[in-house]
Amino acid sequence: MGLFDFLFGNKTKKIQDFKSRGAIIVDVRSKGEYESGAIPGSKNIPLQNISSKIDEIKKWNKPVIACCASGMRSASAAGILKSNGIEAMNGGGWFGLSKKL
């Protein structure tokens, strides 16, 4: 296990664990960004709307992998989801994440 894995965990393994349990990918970019390219099957909920969608997301009863363009907005979204009792992780930028799925 490398130092990076020790400090931050192995993100690829965590993504695979989430996916094996039916995780939903939530892309928190704007509608326009999402329409210009996204992970097939992902759901678009812009970051500014995530708090108002908590009840809907909880009904999915699935872990959530948040993604955006670079990982900044998805980090915020994952934090909001976790603070509301939803199992969530920051998947980072959507394009990089799509290569790990």
Write out pLDDT tens, residues 29-56: 999 999 999 999 999 999 999 999 999 9
> What pLDDT digit, counting tens, does each position of 55-101 carry?
999 999 999 999 999 999 999 999 999 999 999 999 999 998 998 88
Q: For residue 27, is it within any domain?
A: no
Q: What percent of the chain has a predicted confidence (pLDDT) above 70?
A: 91
Q: For residue 82, is it within any domain?
A: yes
Q: For residue 2, is it within any domain?
A: no
pTM of the model: 0.90
Q: For residue 80, is it within any domain?
A: yes
Q: For residue 36, is it within any domain?
A: no
Q: For residue 30, is it within any domain?
A: no
Q: For residue 74, is it within any domain?
A: yes
The number of distinct structural domains making up the chain is 1
Q: For residue 19, is it within any domain?
A: no
Contact predicate 88/64, CB 8 Å? yes
Residue-number span of the structural domain to which 84 is assigned: 41-49+60-100
pLDDT at 1: 42
d(CA 95, CA 25): 13
Q: Count the alpha carbons within 13 Å of 61 in the hemisphere toward its beta carbon.
A: 1
